[in-house]
Structure 1
């Protein structure tokens, strides 16, 4: 039987996880620096263990079960997102960095995509159309929590693209003309999977690349910009943990 056809029972058996034991949230993070991200993120959780599937971890934060996985690109993010969404994990949270097509998005701002142009190469196999929506309730909540940390937030139409490298200046200009604000490599497939399995998805992306002015991650940031990016990357995980806690409270109620 092809993987797309298997049931939630298959994943539960593989992970030795009974119904009702699925985590309140799956936090996915798209980054090259997997080892550093895993070390810093998992250090905040209790009772951490790696699942039967490598690089997918279960831990607890304030007694709430959370799954965490560094998954770079849609082709990798689809796997943990599919597994936990099909098992019934209520909220999928995508973290990472993004490039911005608008000049007023500075490094360390946080993009909260409301809709996403699904050009990642995977989403269409989950019944996704040209665009996929993210959950407005959790977007609003994330925005309020980020505002408390004095972080600039952006909301609007976002793009997920298959490769960080296969992007030209002309493409960036065309995307900006479409009204797309930012780009990453994972969000749309996570949202498409959430839609297919009837759960929620939200994405919190720290702005890094200033594509409107032709700057990429290869261009060094000024010290104050680097500090703001680091702070944003720290805070989006803290907000993700808070969202997971609120999901657990809602589920208990």
Structure 2
């Protein structure tokens, strides 16, 4: 049987997760620095276990089951997203960093994608059209939560692209003309998978690359910008955990 046709029981058997148990949320992070990010994020959780598939973890946050995975790029991001949403996890949270095409979005601002142009090379296989959309209610919730923590945010028209390297100045100029303000490599694929399995999705991406100015991750940041980036990344994960807890306490209405 092809993987897209597997049942949820297949994944439960493979991971050893009981039928009456599924994490309340899956938090995904797209980063090269997988080892450091994983260690930092799992420090927040209790009773952490690595599941049968590598880099997929479960732990407890205030008694709530939460899953975490560092997955870089859309082809990898769909794998844990597919598994956990098919198991019944109905909240998918993408975090990480992004490039910005908006001169008003300085380093440390958190982009909150609303419309996501799905040019990642994977989303269409899950039924996505040209664009997918994150959950409007979740976007509003995390926007308010970030503001309470003193972290600036910006709702964006967003692009998910297959490669960090295959981006030219000419491409960035065209994207800016389309009204695209932020770019990553995972969000639209995560949303497309969530749509297929009925999970709600939200993305919080801290601005790092300022593509309008020709600055990429390979250019050193001034010390104060680096501190803004680190602080925003920390708060974003804390807001993700808060969101998971709130969503479990106040689930959305059915139908």
TM-score range with shorter-chain normalisation? over 0.9
Please tell me the root mean square deviation across aligned C-alpha atoms, in Å. 1.1
Secondary structure of the residue that 2:114 maps to in structure 1?
strand
* CA distance in 2: counterparts of 1:20 and 1:160, whole angstroms: 34
1:125-204 alignment runs, 5 A limit: 125-204=125-204
Matched residue, 2:34 = 34
Closer, same or farther: CA 88–137 of 1 in aligned 2, 3 Å? same
8 Å contact from structure 1 (residues 93, 202) kept in 2? yes
**Which piece of structure 1 moves more, 18-27 or 67-76?**
18-27
Deviation at 1:251, TM superposition (A): 4.3
Superposition misfits of 4+ residues, deviation over 3 angstroms? none
- For 1:75-95, what per-residue CA distance to the aligned partner results, in whole angstroms no more than 9, with x for missing partners? 100100000011110100000
Matched residue, 2:25 = 25
* CA distance in 1: counterparts of 2:102 and 2:112, whole angstroms: 14
Secondary structure of the residue that 1:92 maps to in structure 2?
strand
Structure 2: gaps spanning 5 or more residues? none
Deviation at 1:9, TM superposition (A): 1.0
Deviation at 1:20, TM superposition (A): 2.9
- Say whether residues 1:58 and 2:58 are aligned partners: yes
Matched residue, 1:101 = 101
* CA distance in 1: counterparts of 2:142 and 2:112, whole angstroms: 8
Matched residue, 1:14 = 14
- Say whether residues 1:4 and 2:17 are aligned partners: no
- For 1:37-94, what per-residue CA distance to the aligned partner results, in whole angstroms no more than 9, with x for missing partners? 0111001100000001111000001001000000000010010000001111010000
* CA distance in 2: counterparts of 1:228 and 1:16, whole angstroms: 40
Q: Alignment length, in residue pairs?
A: 253
**Which piece of structure 1 moves more, 200-209 or 149-158?**
149-158
Secondary structure of the residue that 2:226 maps to in structure 1?
helix
* CA distance in 2: counterparts of 1:133 and 1:251, whole angstroms: 20
8 Å contact from structure 1 (residues 90, 247) kept in 2? no
Deviation at 1:136, TM superposition (A): 0.6
* CA distance in 2: counterparts of 1:24 and 1:135, whole angstroms: 16
Give me the TM-score of the superposition, normalised by structure 2.
0.97
Secondary structure of the residue that 1:106 maps to in structure 2?
coil
8 Å contact from structure 1 (residues 22, 87) kept in 2? yes
- Say whether residues 1:250 and 2:253 are aligned partners: no
- For 1:12-49, what per-residue CA distance to the aligned partner results, in whole angstroms no more than 9, with x for missing partners? 11112122310000000000000100111001100000
1:70-81 alignment runs, 5 A limit: 70-81=70-81
Matched residue, 1:124 = 124
Deviation at 1:150, TM superposition (A): 1.4
Secondary structure of the residue that 1:129 maps to in structure 2?
coil
Secondary structure of the residue that 2:250 maps to in structure 1?
helix
Matched residue, 1:228 = 228
Matched residue, 1:90 = 90
Deviation at 1:156, TM superposition (A): 2.3
